[in-house]
Structures are given as structure tokens and as C-alpha cells.
Amino acid sequence: MASLFSTLQFTGGMNDWVHPGLLPSNFAAKLINAEVSSGKIVPIKKPVLLANNNPVFYGHYGTRDRSVVKWYDRNYWSNNTAIVSGFYGGDVENYIGIPYPAYSGASANVSIADSTPGEGETGLTGDFKYCVCFVNANGWEGAPGSLTEYEMSYSLTDGFASITVTWSDARVHHAKIYRTIDKGADFYHVGDVTTSGASFTDKTTDTMLQLMNPLTTINNYPPPDRGKYLCEYDGVFFLAVDSNLYFSAQSNPHAWPTLQFISFDDTITGIVPEFQGILVFTANNIFRVVGANSSETITKTYIPGNHGCINFRSISVLNNAPIWYSNDGICLWDGSSVTVNSYQVLKTDNLVVEYAVSANDCYFLFHSSGCIVLDQKNGGIFYKLDFSCDYSWYDGTTGIMYLLAGNALYRYGYGTNLKAIYQSPNIGGAESIIKVFRELILNSDGSCAISVFVDGSQIAVLYLSGGRQRVKLPMNAIGKYLLLQVESSDDINELAVIYD
């Protein structure tokens, strides 16, 4: 009695983990340059080379070594491989953090001198303290000094103080001057110096001073040196330095209080936002960090499973869920647990990761010899691409995915069809019984090249035109199992083999 192997829907995607003799007919042992969203094998379109290869031209500021945060239409980033300054950048402000002034030594920014009252003026008398905060062009204000030096004491007897402020740092737009009342501790804003080297004469009485704005930026320090993996959640920015996680003041990427950090037991290898906070990776472990609005509420929780991340370039977000490549495979965090999506589906051992990106409900993991695609919109199936890139990003506004390979920039999925490769499961059931494979039925939209293998040896290559084709298999198609590899740049709609 004749038997039939038939595939009407190629909905299973690719599985090269399970033995090909045990795969259901809707799975492929190999699926390259094709997706199966319609149940058919549909070739992926070739990436199109773009005339302009500068990502900034397309409004993008990332590189394979940067972590970029777009916050209120401004881009900030960390240079994750930098070993000397600058460690940070931005498209509007060109940096993260505001410098603080020095009050002594060769690099002092602030000096104070007596100023004689004019006719009819009454000078100030008392023991005062002054401090200075630098402000950038967009109004962000830094700390008044280092942890050990953030004020200058000055005594007056019926006189005024003239405060001169100098700076050379391009991050500084102007300086704000603060003062205490006589023998007081709280600082209030008395005036500004808008040009480096200029002076301001303070004539504010203690009574008027207390009506001025108080100093509120005492902890607005620049971010730590060598920070990596910049990310943001709920207005709080995060950076990793070795095994420490630093976090900014809320809604201020330039304010990094020195005590706002938590430590981990190993070097941090990546950070990514999640549903209620962030995930922090080490090479072998994952931690969830929430409540970073202040150092009093922040907590970290260990996530069991040892599914750490060995390469930050593999980290992406798929439908708001963090996804990455670990030693165990491609992992996804759903808010409560980690799923290894590639487990018993795809072999992922020893991949050399180039970069990863998510686009249109798919996760693309580019590596040194190609790309693995996890297609979540079609049931979490896998397929592969036979090309790679150094860096990639997805523009959600335009719906375009870009690939950067060397100095060439491409638009994904808009060219001519690539050659799709489909390899069937082993056809013939139990491998202990000899079968005679008689006929092949193929329905395709164009020409196909079909390699026929029996018991692992190639016995023929068939070239078929489009449409529904039914052909006799060679006389020597006798063995325990048969395998077909179909190559085509057109849709493959149906495949069947008749045997007994």
C-alpha cells in the first residue's frame, strides 16, 4: 500500500535540534532566507544598499559599541568599550553630566575679593559662605563642588563680595552663585555669571536672601567614569561600572548622586529595561532591579536559572519583553520567568555574536556566519538568514530595519527575492524498513532546484518549473528514508512524496 508524505502548511519553522526522522511534516530541518507567515515558504527579500551610509542621516545615533537612550526627543549614550574619556555622548548636549567647580589649587574656578560699597550703599557684615553651580545650555544644573570641597568662607565688615568664576569646559553655559546668611548653613541663589572670567558683586541682605531660591542640586554629580550599558526606566537612568550598578536622580540624566548604586557579585555584562524596572546581567546570572526612584526603595531580586548574558550586543526587547543570547540559548523574560525559546528547537552553541535587533515581532541575532530569526508573530518559530551584519537598528517611526556591514548601509527586506533553502524532515517513517520512493509532487510559484537524498547520499537533482509538478523519482530512490532540499526564489506552496 502506498504511503504519502505531504506538507500543505509549513507552519513549524526550522528545527535542527530534534532528529530529522522525528520531525512533524510541517517543520523544516533547515529553513534559510524564508519565512512561513502564510503557511507557505516565502523567500526573504534581499537587503537594498542605501546611497548614504551615515546612520545620523536617518536620525539614528547608535553604534555596535553604544547603548543609546532616547528621552524626550534627545539622545544620550554610553560608549561601552571606551577605556578613556569620553565615556558618554549625546546629540543635543554632547555629554551626560555637568562639571562641578574647584575652589582651590591651580584649577580653581572661583575667587572672591572685597568690593567697596558705593555712595549711599550699606555694605554687608558677617561670616558668609559661597558656592557655585555650573549650568548647561539647556538649564540642567550640576553640583556645587566635590564631596570634600563645595564652598568658600568669606567674612565682610561693611563691604560687598565680588565673585569671579572661570571655566573652559564646553558643557558650561553659565554659573549660578549661592550664599548663606551670616553664620548660616543653607545656601540661596544670589546671582549669575554668564561669561567665563566675569564677576558678580553680591549686595543681597540676609533678609532678602531668604526669599531667594534655595540650593537643590547638591547631589547632582556627573556619572561615574567608565559607565556602560546606559538604559532608562521611568525617568531613571542606569549605568554599570564593573560590578556596581549606578542610577541617576529621577528625570535628570545629568544628576548621579554618589551614593546611588548597588553592588553585584560579578561583573555586569548588560542592562535592559523590563516591565517594572530593569534586568541586570552577569555572565551567568540575572537580577531584577525595581524601585530605583531613590536609594531607599531600590531592590534587586535574583532570577533563578543561571541564564546570564555573555555579550551585551545580543540584548534586545521583543514586544516589551527582554530577549538575549545566553550560554543556554536564546532566552526571553516575560515578567515572571525566563524561557529558553531555542531549547530543543535550534542549536545555538558557540555563536560569535555580532549584534541583535527586534523588528516587526521578530528577533534577529546576527552572528559571524549568518543570522537566527525568532518569529514571535507566527508562534515563536525559527528560521535563518545566510547573511550577517556588524550592526542593525529598527526605526519604529518609518518601519524600516537597517543593516550596517562594514561601511555599507542596507535597508532590510525591500530588494529582489533571495534564494530560499528548505530541507525536509526524513521522509519514510521508521528507518529500519526499506522503502521505494516513487513520486514527488511540488506546487510552487516559480522554478525550483530539488536535491534528492536517500539514506544520506545524494542521488539526483531535479529542476522543475513553476506550478503543480508531479514527477517520477529515480529508480535508485530505494532506502530507509528520503530527504529533499528545495532551493527557489519563489513561493513554495506544497510538497508531497509518494512511497511504499
Cα separation, 448 vs 485, whole angstroms: 10
According to the model, what pLDDT value does residue 8 have? 85
For residue 58, the one-letter residue type is Y
Q: What is the pLDDT of residues 27-41, one digit of tens each?
A: 999 999 999 989 999
Q: Is 73 exposed, middle or buried (0-12, 13-18, 19+ CB in 10 A)?
A: exposed
Instruction: Please state, rounded to an integer, the average pLDDT across all residues of the chain.
Output: 96
- C-alpha 283 chain-centroid distance: 17
Residue 414: phi and psi, rounded to 5, are -130, 5
Distance (Å, whole) CA 84 – CA 173: 25
How many Å apart are CA 211 and CA 209, to the nearest integer?
A: 5
Cβ 161 vs Cβ 190: under 8 Å: no
Determine how many CB atoms are found less than 10 A away from the CB of residue 269. 21
pLDDT of amino acid 358: 98
Q: What is the pLDDT of residue 1?
A: 45
Question: Which ranges of the chain have pLDDT less than 70?
Answer: 1
Using alpha carbons, list the distances in angstroms from residue 75 to 133, 178, 398: 24, 31, 18
Residue 3's pLDDT is 81
For 226-282, write each residue's pLDDT tens digit. Answer: 999 999 999 999 999 999 999 999 999 999 999 999 999 999 999 999 999 999 999
Kindly provide the b/e burial profile for residues 323-356, where b requires at least 16 CB atoms within 10 angstroms of the residue's own CB.
bbbbebbbbbbeeeebbbbbeebbebeebebbbb
Domains (range + CATH), the chain: 3-44+419-499 (2.60.120.260), 110-209 (no CATH)
pLDDT of residue 6: 87
